[in-house]
Amino acid sequence: MKAPQTQKPEGGSFLNWPICTEWTDLKADAVMFGVPYGKPYMPQDTFNDQSRAPQALRAASSRILIGPEMVNMDCVPPRGLENLHLVDGGDIPLPDGDVDSHYQQAEAAVRFAISRGIIPVSVGGDDGITNPVIRGLDGIDDITLVQIDAHMDWRDERYGERDGYSSPMRRASELAHITGIHQVGIRSFGSAREEEIRAATQWGACIHLARDIARNGIDPVIDALPDGGRFFVTLDADGLDPSVMPGVVALAPGGLNWWHMIDLFEGMAKKGRIIGLNIVELSPANDVNQLSMIGAGRLLLNLLMRQLLR
Ligand SMILES: [Mn+2]
């Protein structure tokens, strides 16, 4: 399998983790890497604010974690990251502005990490990049996708584009290695019409409405996940409530709170195995005091600690 080549991030790495841009040499428990460019619906939208998110997330490092010996009080008992081998894999390049090639390399990066038993953590970019990221999981079968999002993302196409930010769950539903889809935090208006709801329901996607989670908590969602499942988490930042995650484009009041996420990650790790994480739709220009970057960075750490420190 061909190892992807990535670009060294500008500024420092995420949390001062060692940087690896030649993935042939990659050895780690988990690798975080940037995938800045989703396929746009209009050509001028290739370079959107979400493209700046990997950089903005790295820039918030000192506020996410002051040192590897510090313990995470959300873990019982409190644990640190010291025994984990975590690497910043750099950013997927955009050669000559070619987003097709960008997607292919993102897909190859996920596939390569999986083949080495390394947990992939991709950071977008808009939700379009979820399409190649999920395709790259094909080295594992019987995967349950856990999508945190305000939006369904079941459009077959928009403006003729089938790999854009409105389609990742539709594309995922067509893949043999995806056998379950749980959509968590769905609410309000998006690009979904009645036919998208019908397609999702007919396929068997479990739609966990934000309204039900607000009333009943996150436990019914955890209960609905399969025992022994292999869970891939795709986290659209707008799935969380804007009071927790204001730095998004498609703001939707009424989303998940911090503890829903922590409990969901814990529930998944207890029920089965978390095989990877994809974070998308962070918008640095809309952030408030780096709150969204700090939150996203710590969610990333919480997920890795649940899976790797058992
Ligand atoms: Mn969304």
Is the domain spanning 14-308 CATH 3.40.800.10? The answer is yes
Distance 236 CA to ligand 1 centre (A): 5
Closest CA to 103 of 193, 29, 40, 189: 40
Confirm if 181 and 145 have CB atoms less than 8 A apart.
yes
Residue 152 CA to ligand 1 center (angstroms) comes to 7
Compute the distance from residue 150 Cα to the ligand 1 centre, in Å.
5
What's the first-to-final CA gap in the chain, in angstroms?
Answer: 30
HSE of 263, CA atoms in CB hemisphere, 13 A: 13
* Interval between CA 56 and ligand 1 midpoint (Å): 19
pLDDT for position 68: 85
pLDDT for 76? 84
Q: Measured in angstroms, how far is the CA atom of residue 76 from the centroid of ligand 1?
A: 31
pTM surpassing 0.75?
Answer: yes
Q: What pLDDT is stored for residue 51 in this prediction?
A: 98
Distance from the alpha carbon of residue 256 to the mean position of ligand 1, in angstroms = 13
Ligand 1 centroid to Cα of residue 251, in Å, is: 8
DSSP the chain: -PPPB-BPPSSS-GGGPPB-SBGGG---SEEEEEE--PPPSSGGGSS-GGGGHHHHHHHTHHHH-S-TT--BTTSSS-B-STT--EEEEEE---GGG-HHHHHHHHHHHHHHHHHTTPEEEEEESSGGGHHHHHHTTTTS-SEEEEEE-SS----S-BTTBSSSTT-HHHHHHT-TTEEEEEEEEE-S-SS--HHHHHHHHHHT-EEEEHHHHHHH-SHHHHHHSPTT-EEEEEEEGGGB-TTT----SS--SS-B-HHHHHHHHHHHHHHSEEEEEEEE---GGG-STTHHHHHHHHHHHHHHHHHH--
Give 10-residue mean pLDDT values along the chain (310 residues): 92 96 96 98 94 98 94 91 95 96 98 98 98 98 98 97 98 98 97 96 98 98 98 98 98 98 98 98 98 98 95
Residue 269 CA to ligand 1 center (angstroms) comes to 24
pLDDT for 2 equals 86
